[in-house]
Structure 1
Amino acid sequence: MKKSLQILMLLVMPFLVHAQQISGTITDKNGPVIGATVSISSSNGTITDVNGAYELKVPAGTHDVSVAFVGYNKKTINVTVASGENKSLNVTIEENVELLNELVVVGTRSRPRSNIDTAVPVDILDAKELTSTGQNTFDKALTYRVPSFNSVQTPVNDATSLLDPYEIRNMGPSRTLILINGKRKNLSALLYTQTSPGRGETGADISAIPQDAIERVEILRDGASAQYGSDAIAGVMNIILKDDVDYGSVTLRGGITGEGDGESVGVSLNAGTSLGEGGFLNYTVDFSKRELANRPGTVNAAGEAADFGANIADVQEFLNRRPDAGNINGSPETTAAKFLLNGGFNISSNTKGYFNGAYVYKNVNSYANYRTPYWRTITDFPYLANFFPGDHPTNAGGYDGYVPTFDGLLNDYNGTLGVRSEMNGWTYDGSFTVGGNTQTYKVTNSHNRNFVYSPSTWLDANSDGAVDPGEINEGSLLYRENSPISFDPGGTRFNHIVGNIDISKEISSSLAMAFGAEFRNETFTVIEGGKASYDGGGADSFAGNTPENSGKFNRYNIGGYFDLSYDVTDNFLLNGTARVENYSDFGQAFVWKLSSRYKLMDDKMTLRASASTGFRAPTLHQIYTQKAQYSFVPGAGIQVGGLVNNVSPQAKLLGIPQLDAEESFNFTVGLGMRPNDNFDVTVDYYNISVSDRIVLSTEIGPTSGGGTPLDQVLTDNNLSDVSFFVNALDTKTSGIDFVANYKNLSAGNGTLGFTLSGNYTIQNERDGDVKNPALVAGAGQSVVNDTQEALFFTSRPKTKWILGVNYELGKFGFSLNNTYFGTTTFRQQGMDSNLKTEFKPKVVTDLGVNFSATDKVNISFNVNNIFNVLPEWEFKALNAAGETLLNDAAQVQNQSNLITFNQRYSQMTYDGYHFSQLGSLYNLTVNVRF
């Protein structure tokens, strides 16, 4: 790393070699301004130090010296410097209240408002806040900055290792709309089907966005389907990209966990340049590599023997050598390359073009559960001695089991090209957006263990047209001892094409209107796997996509909106929006939104409220996905289940209705106060009702009597159970968001700032009975069981709070953040119905130290989870029968084995947890500006 820094400093030296200089101080009414940019061009600039001082090397001649800083009016001064002269230039800059408050795009379609002037709650996070977390990815940074936002790695790492489910206000990843510079980002190709939070849903891959490319993030915590269309039931996240041209930087990153694994390295470049007269191009290149961080549990022998019908002595012998049963689970090895650009250019005096584009490559190497020698035995599969020789003391060939690997490859891209023009008071914005996500997989170190034969052949040796003895050759065994050990299971692909027209006008100083239309074409593709990956049941650990379940599926929709914003007085705002959408596959939706804001006490207090309807269209993934899937069934080990789609013959046989859109009603009321420029606080209550919520059903098994169409489907397809998507639930969610900030408090020779923010869930539950298809209800089963309800409603923290303290002292900056993760509750599959599990509340403390070594070199050191706090769960009795069970140590051990796969996932159980299991993380970052 030292050598790399030396090279970087050599690269920036040419910018410092001049014979003349301009120097001085930059101040405001309160004193020195730290970090202001002083420049004469896009390639020659510097920033002020802790005393507001700067030195700028310049060539002889006349220059326009520009001084800029966030929240201040930009100031430009014409200066002439003679050869060899050291020119003194002191500049005072003035605050701009609108800039200090930051104009936000989300919240209304008619015109931007400052963040204290909006009628709905909006969080604004700048780039510094995100990078100060020390987290490796954008989604994890948000988890430790936004209380209502949650994202955590799933316990089982197959396809879900490529991206983790996230959500706002416990509403699932598919109910938060992601925008980039105000334009819709494409969904991921991945559909979460594991029994974990986010089950049955999909969302955009926000972890793929390089943090160094982000200027700020606007998070609208309110329903916004009327303004933006489907998927905005819980809110909208708008990611604003950097547009700097005055400077660039190279960032070097390195990290490791407290256990000495999970090493990470990364390098990113962010830079900009002018593009024609008044245009810009900002670009980011980011490469990173993170090694495996393994957190296996110590496996219980008795549970293993019971699950696999194995001799206890054989199990104990293996576990004595491998206490974790060879399992590898935790945070997988990940390699990523990210490229992003953002630009704009002048077409004429009143017309501007804009564009942005991104491409992300991600490769993840993870593992399935280890196939122990008493699970896949040498007796049942004698050929495994040749496939996977080991060091077992008695088995043929030393066969000691094997661990299938799972490699996931992700390619994600998005791009927008648009034109914005002003004419006669009207603003016209037309844009074209494309985006796509492809995920393909590879399984190695496995085998196809199924009996499948090639067709028999007839060779008419004597040409008599009759089948004579010896003329028929029986088909050969294709797999088992003839099986490959590497498989191509296929994958999935999603892409969309979006066209937008947005027109707005400020009719008067108090009235503004906007209207527009959007056309969206979506395509979802299930990529067929290699034959060996699915034939007869497919590869052991992860079966491929069969031809009949593969294909390309498409739909389009067109929508239009009208928005009116009326400042009744300087203090009283009314805003209304209506939207109509029409989808090619399920029809029409009409939604509306009304919001209002009233300012009191000379704008020091704001009252705000909104009411809206919303909708979420079923994704193509949910409509068309059909597959066989391996999963752990408590007490029965790994079984093969089937997911049938809603347009299949099997769905018609089962009487499964086709999917319709979810509908919602949102109500929000809040209070904001800003007594002075340094202190602000907001409190918002929200209430969200969703009807016909789309869920992936629980696994529906055979009936006790047999003979039903359900039993026939399971038998014909060699499945232990079947699941499907259905509009099964009406739900109610309510809670309170709180945000308070105090900054610029003098403390010794430095300044102190505090932030306290929190989310408390008052209600998150089912409203009414489950809407079961007749066949399922008639079989005495339900598409939503206790496990499903827990995943929907209690698997994210009931409350989450973040207390942050920041202290600036000279060249040093210190931050200490405490994140309180409240209780999460699960009802794991297979667990006794008289019990539940609770993850205990925990506080995770993060420490950051920032050192401005020079005006161009910045060094940051972060310790995340400095006290090595880990998730911790316990059983809770639901009734007297549960209390009795918990008094029996043997029963407690058995229940624990059931939900952790015999302690393989002892720390988080098989279904999930509420924050990282990796413990302490140490990260060092060096940023060099040029």
Structure 2
Amino acid sequence: MRFRTSSLLAIATTLAVAAPPAFAQDTTPTAEPQAEPAAPAEDTQIVVTGTRAQGRSRLDTASPVDVLSGTALRNQGTTELGAALSTVAPSIDFPRPSAVDGTDAIRPATLRGLSPDQTLVLINGVRANASALLNINGSVGRGSAAVDLNTIPATALERIEVLRDGASAQYGSDAIAGVINVRLREARSGGGVTATYGFYATDIDTARGSRSVTGEPTFTASAWQGLGFGNDGYVTLSGEYTKREPTNRADFDPRVTPTRVTGRFGDPEVEQYTGYINAGTGIGDNWKLYGWFGYQDRDSRSAAFPRLASAATAVSGIYPNGFLPIINTKSTNANGALGLKGDLAGWNVDLNVAYGRNKIAYYTRNSANYAYGNASPTNFYDGALIYDQWVAGLDVSRSFDVFQSLNVAFGVEGRREGFKITPGEQASYGYPTGVTTGTPGAQGFGGFSPANAIERGRKNVSGYVDLEAQVTDKFLVGLAGRAEHYTDFGDTGTGKVSLRYDVTPWFALRGTASTGFRAPSLQQQYFTSVASVIQNGNPILTGTFPSVSPVATALGGLPLEPERSTNLSLGTVIRSGGFDLTVDAYQIRLRNQLALSENIASSFSPQVAALLLPYNVSAARFFINGLRSRVRGVDVVAHYKLRADDAGTFDFTLAGNLNQTKVDRSSIPTSTGTVNPAPTLFARSRIYSIEQGTPGEKLTGTIDWSLDKLAITARASYYGNVIQPGTTPAADIYTGKHTIADLELRYQALKGAQIALGVNNLFDEYPDYTIAANNSTGVVGFPYYSPFGFGGRYIYARIGLNW
């Protein structure tokens, strides 16, 4: 247990009395570029997430909602949306894993320490498509297929609303931890261009030596333009280009003489193009036609572990000194929607249809297939993963003069999802024709074979009712219920109760109770990654199988069922003048949690060998509904704005998340029901990854100062210790407790030139390095579970022009 309940309360009390994000900022559609507008009064920050009642501010809701302006997300050194979010929202973490294949390029974010796919992501209130990637390696969020936040450029944003509360009854599957609602710019005029250039200037101290790096630059160019037509029509165009050189924080390799860095461990090389268009126009007096479309092309190249000359003798004619395989993922993501909303007989009606598609094509470069010997290709096409979804929704709402007001909302949603694996070229996964010796497949990342090819789909339909009544001036009641039907696993239902009581104009109590669910993704149900090796002249398979495949069924695999949750929250809202404070405690109980089993090998027992023999399989793993856990924590956000006539405006924020996850050991299955003695289904490292993989304490303090055209942002973020678990306690890797300081100075004219200079990680802080005993190859210099990465000091400059 990371900390006791008394510790939670003590720290929450300390935060509450300490006071002070320029956190919640402008929510008005952008009409001009501005130096990005100052935050309005707190009671005018209207939210549309977590409530369907119109005109409710973030401090008037029954559930905690953060409003993060596009300005706050853009005024940083990073141009990655996931990283920018984690900087300003303490309940969100964005680890930067390395050496975990596709997850190097498509990194997931977590909310309140839960799995990345247990947070629902919306774009303008409509469900966004998930990535095709299934994270099956040993990083935070193992087993998840989540939305890739980095497909959305910060320049396209007006704001992001983060609902920190279970909301499956309101929004459907995935909203167990909460909801991230991305709101795009709606501009009729204005525009701007920005260029950001940054590089690392850092001293790297690893277990076996030290070195310094100056370089590894990143360049980002972005632009946006608002166009108006008619009385209220708008078209907002946004585009972004990013070119990032790879970073390397590997340790020195003890296997070579003299010792040197042979690996590449850090951020991948990235080149990407992203474009968004958001548009809308009035039709008649009461209706509006709206829609958006976004597209991203990302080319990312990360490194596998190095193959030394001593291990690459089969291809010594190609690589006499060994080689470093490069995993190249080419990801294309498209999403868009078209909708019509307006007034029909006094009811607010919103009808929309959306489509999203993600394709990830894999290539292995600078590699070899040992089975081909010195005739091996060096570059391979490994196949592709494809996920797509159609969503159609109808939302209807109306306010009645019952009590003080009663908002009635209801709606239906239909969804069709598809998942596909296409195989790569034969050399990427197999043997050359007529050869049955050697190790087949591209080194570093073996391709998908025809045995992995699969195409599956499903449909879902749901309906909801959401009632919100202002019973008196002081008392707010919300009730929501949702029923869903899936063509694969059947029916499910969820409900939510929300209460708020304003004791005085400056002090309110709020709380919610809800049930939630997350449907197993198609990736979890059907992902197949099977490699073939020759043993005694016969092909033997090993890898990841669908839980309903004959192989998994033989070992006790079953059709996957939804994960379920029970969420409770209780909080307070305090506000006076320019000061506001929210404190929200929560408990989330999860059951039927999905997890990827360990490999069950034929060598475990004669019984397992007999079960796998008919399928020529030597080892298999698959997903199981096998865990229960409990998450408890406290979110605190304190904000104070001070306007001093001659000294400018000061915006203080102090925010924190204290989080504790505990897996119920009694829930861990010891058998699939068919194997005795039972193999280990979930290893110690898997359980500790859930419990200790994200920080139990994260605190962020921010000061924003502005005077006329000058501004400064100073931020300090404290991260508690995280454990990257090993197979035994001695193999655990600790990140340690660290504080990261960021500083940015800006000249920000309303129109005209802008310039900013900044430093991320001002004091060049690193997580604790990986000790030599746990790093025999020297590649993994730092724990990739680190919640703030392991890049070191980053210096950047940003110039722009607004009109």
1:4 is matched with which residue?
none
Shift, 1:861, TM fit: 1.3
Higher relative contact order (CA 8 A, sep 6+): 2
8 A contact 1:439–1:492 mirrored in 2: yes
Distance 1:663 1:731 in 2: 11
- Give 1:651-670 correspondences, 5 Å limit: 651-670=552-571
Distance 1:331 1:871 in 2: 15
8 A contact 1:776–1:782 mirrored in 2: no
1:513 is matched with which residue?
408
Distance 2:780 2:353 in 1: 46
Residues 244 and 496 (structure 1 numbering): CA distance in 2 closer, same or farther, change over 3 Å?
A: same
1:798 is matched with which residue?
696
- Give 1:192-207 correspondences, 5 Å limit: 192-207=135-150
Normalised by the length of structure 2, the TM-score is 0.89
**Alignment match of 1:850 (pick from 732, 742, 746):** 746
8 A contact 2:33–2:750 mirrored in 1: no
Shift, 1:913, TM fit: 2.4
**Alignment match of 1:570 (pick from 454, 473, 497):** 473
Q: Deviations over 1:9-45 (max 9, x none)?
A: xxxxxxxxxxxxxxxxxxxxxxxxxx99xxxx98xx7
Matched letter for residue 442 of structure 2: A
3-state secondary structure, aligned to 2:219: strand
1:5 is matched with which residue?
none
Matched letter for residue 760 of structure 1: L
Question: Which blocks of at least 5 consecutive residues in structure 1 are unaligned?
Answer: 1-34, 49-67, 73-96, 302-317, 389-398, 451-478, 631-638, 875-892
**Alignment match of 1:688 (pick from 585, 588, 599):** 588
Distance 1:821 1:620 in 2: 34
Q: Deviations over 1:627-685 (max 9, x none)?
A: 1379xxxxxxxx99511111211012111111101111000010010011x10000000
605-614 vs 421-430, which moves further: 421-430
1:709 is matched with which residue?
608
Shift, 1:604, TM fit: 1.1
Q: Deviations over 1:244-282 (max 9, x none)?
A: 223110111111111223211121111111133211111
1:531 is matched with which residue?
426
1:905 is matched with which residue?
780
3-state secondary structure, aligned to 2:215: coil
2:455 is matched with which residue?
552
Residues 907 and 268 (structure 1 numbering): CA distance in 2 closer, same or farther, change over 3 Å?
A: same
1:366 is matched with which residue?
302
The answer to whether residue 800 in structure 2 is matched with residue 927 in structure 1 is yes
8 A contact 1:139–1:166 mirrored in 2: yes
8 A contact 1:291–1:332 mirrored in 2: yes
3-state secondary structure, aligned to 2:370: coil
Distance 1:792 1:565 in 2: 35
**Alignment match of 2:316 (pick from 364, 378, 385):** 385
Distance 1:283 1:417 in 2: 16
**Alignment match of 1:725 (pick from 614, 623, 626):** 623
Shift, 1:714, TM fit: 7.9
Residues 444 and 836 (structure 1 numbering): CA distance in 2 closer, same or farther, change over 3 Å?
A: closer
8 A contact 2:541–2:616 mirrored in 1: no
Shift, 1:517, TM fit: 0.3
Q: Deviations over 1:691-746 (max 9, x none)?
A: 10001112333445x32235663896565x43210001011001000000111243
Shift, 1:101, TM fit: 2.9
Residues 777 and 129 (structure 1 numbering): CA distance in 2 closer, same or farther, change over 3 Å?
A: farther
8 A contact 1:728–1:772 mirrored in 2: no
3-state secondary structure, aligned to 1:155: coil
Matched letter for residue 615 of structure 1: F
1:647 is matched with which residue?
548
2:224 is matched with which residue?
270
Residues 408 and 715 (structure 1 numbering): CA distance in 2 closer, same or farther, change over 3 Å?
A: farther
8 A contact 1:157–1:329 mirrored in 2: no
**Alignment match of 1:417 (pick from 332, 338, 362):** 338
Normalised by the length of structure 1, the TM-score is 0.77
8 A contact 2:100–2:137 mirrored in 1: no
8 A contact 2:629–2:664 mirrored in 1: yes
1:608 is matched with which residue?
510
Distance 1:837 1:404 in 2: 25
3-state secondary structure, aligned to 1:652: helix
Shift, 1:777, TM fit: 6.0
8 A contact 2:769–2:781 mirrored in 1: no
Determine which structure has more spread, i.e. the larger CA radius of gyration. 1
8 A contact 1:71–1:100 mirrored in 2: no
2:234 is matched with which residue?
280
Matched letter for residue 718 of structure 2: Y
Distance 2:156 2:265 in 1: 31
Distance 2:523 2:396 in 1: 33
Shift, 1:539, TM fit: 1.6
3-state secondary structure, aligned to 1:197: coil
8 A contact 1:497–1:522 mirrored in 2: yes
**Alignment match of 1:159 (pick from 102, 107, 118):** 102
Distance 1:436 1:417 in 2: 16
1:454 is matched with which residue?
none
8 A contact 1:703–1:711 mirrored in 2: no
Matched letter for residue 386 of structure 1: G
- Give 1:37-56 correspondences, 5 Å limit: none
Shift, 1:159, TM fit: 1.2
The answer to whether residue 84 in structure 2 is matched with residue 141 in structure 1 is yes
**Alignment match of 2:161 (pick from 218, 225, 239):** 218
**Alignment match of 1:751 (pick from 629, 649, 670):** 649
Q: How many percent identity over aligned positions?
A: 30
Distance 1:542 1:645 in 2: 20
Q: Deviations over 1:573-610 (max 9, x none)?
A: 10000000000000000100000111122x21121000
8 A contact 2:361–2:383 mirrored in 1: yes
Matched letter for residue 793 of structure 2: S
- Give 1:173-322 correspondences, 5 Å limit: 173-258=116-201, 259-301=213-255, 318-320=256-258
8 A contact 1:110–1:563 mirrored in 2: no
8 A contact 2:554–2:611 mirrored in 1: no
Residues 202 and 774 (structure 1 numbering): CA distance in 2 closer, same or farther, change over 3 Å?
A: closer
8 A contact 1:127–1:211 mirrored in 2: yes
Distance 2:188 2:500 in 1: 37
The answer to whether residue 365 in structure 2 is matched with residue 444 in structure 1 is yes
Shift, 1:403, TM fit: 1.5
1:323 is matched with which residue?
260
Distance 1:156 1:385 in 2: 24
Residues 853 and 870 (structure 1 numbering): CA distance in 2 closer, same or farther, change over 3 Å?
A: same
The answer to whether residue 52 in structure 2 is matched with residue 109 in structure 1 is yes
**Alignment match of 2:765 (pick from 866, 869, 884):** 869
1:673 is matched with which residue?
574
Matched letter for residue 626 of structure 1: T
Matched letter for residue 480 of structure 2: T
The answer to whether residue 392 in structure 2 is matched with residue 499 in structure 1 is yes
Q: Deviations over 1:407-431 (max 9, x none)?
A: 1100001101000010332111100
1:589 is matched with which residue?
492
Residues 901 and 173 (structure 1 numbering): CA distance in 2 closer, same or farther, change over 3 Å?
A: farther
Q: Deviations over 1:483-528 (max 9, x none)?
A: 3222111020000000001111112251110100000000001111
The answer to whether residue 326 in structure 2 is matched with residue 405 in structure 1 is yes
Matched letter for residue 319 of structure 1: T
The answer to whether residue 291 in structure 2 is matched with residue 355 in structure 1 is yes
2:206 is matched with which residue?
none
Shift, 1:765, TM fit: 2.9
3-state secondary structure, aligned to 1:526: strand
Matched letter for residue 585 of structure 1: D
2:12 is matched with which residue?
none
Residues 800 and 70 (structure 1 numbering): CA distance in 2 closer, same or farther, change over 3 Å?
A: closer
Distance 1:716 1:901 in 2: 36
1:27 is matched with which residue?
none
Distance 2:96 2:275 in 1: 24
Shift, 1:127, TM fit: 1.1
Matched letter for residue 86 of structure 2: T
Distance 1:714 1:843 in 2: 53
**Alignment match of 2:483 (pick from 580, 586, 609):** 580
